[in-house]
Amino acid sequence: MKPKVGFICVHNSCRSQMAEALGKWLASETFESFSAGTESVPKINEDAVQTIYDLYQFNMSQQRSKTLEAMREVDIVITMGCNVQCPQVKCSHREDWGLDDPTGKSQTEFERTAKTIEKKVLDLKRRIETGKIDYENPKIRN
């Protein structure tokens, strides 16, 4: 069974949404991708939607901002680098990708963020496929 990966950010509007989209596009044969935030917003960042479409021709416009409570149980938690504390998230592996939020910045910053997420998603995929991440032994991780 494929592991479930939850990409978590504060508002679930930009970086975590981009990671969910790129996880679906680049690694769906290896893991399932979900995203959520500690808060939600009415709609996801339009610059993020456009950037993912421009770079990858992947349409993420149907994705919606969700809170942690709405996210399915996951095996792997990836925080985006916004110092989000996600208490009592049951998972087997957790890591922080340390990404700056490009919201309100230039298109170049959005593209740089997307390319960084792409590299990290592909690395995560490789580590799962080679067994470097043990996702079958859940624990409570703060």
pLDDT tens-place string over residues 31-89: 999 999 988 899 999 999 999 999 999 999 999 999 988 887 899 999 998 765 655 67
pLDDT at 85: 61
| DSSP letter for each residue of 43-111 | S--HHHHHHHHHHH----TT----BGGGSPP-SEEEE-SS----TTEEESEEEE--PPP-TTS-HHHHH
**Cα(119)–Cα(82) distance, rounded to whole angstroms?**
19
CB 78 within 8 A of CB 20: no
Kindly give the interhelix angle for 107-129 and 46-56, rounded to the nearest 10 degrees.
Answer: 70
The answer to whether residues 60 and 49 touch, using CB atoms and an 8 Å cutoff, is yes
pTM of the model: 0.93
| Token output for 99 | 């990404």
Residue 139 predicted with pLDDT over 70: no
Contact 81, 97 (CB under 8 A): yes
